[in-house]
Chain A
Amino acid sequence: GENVEQHPSTLSVQEGDSAVIKCTYSDSASNYFPWYKQELGKRPQLIIDIRSNVGEKKDQRIAVTLNKTAKHFSLHITETQPEDSAVYFCAASIPPTGANSKLTFGKGITLSVRP
Chain B
Amino acid sequence: DAGITQSPRYKITETGRQVTLMCHQTWSHSYMFWYRQDLGHGLRLIYYSAAADITDKGEVPDGYVVSRSKTENFPLTLESATRSQTSVYFCASRDLTTGRTQYFGPGTRLTVL
Contact = CB atoms under 8 A, between A and B. Distances in A.
A32 B56 contact: no
Contacts of A89: 42-43
What is the interface of chain A mostly: helix, strand, loop, or mixed? loop
Contacts, number: 54
What is the interface of chain B mostly: helix, strand, loop, or mixed? strand
B43 A45 contact: no
Contacts of B105: 43
Which bracket fits the contact residues of B?
A: 20 to 34
Given A101-B31, A101-B50, A101-B94, A43 B104 contact: yes
Interface in A54-96: 89, 93, 96
Interface string B36-49: 00001111110010
Interface of B: 1, 31, 33, 35, 40-45, 48, 50-51, 54, 56, 58, 90, 94, 100-107
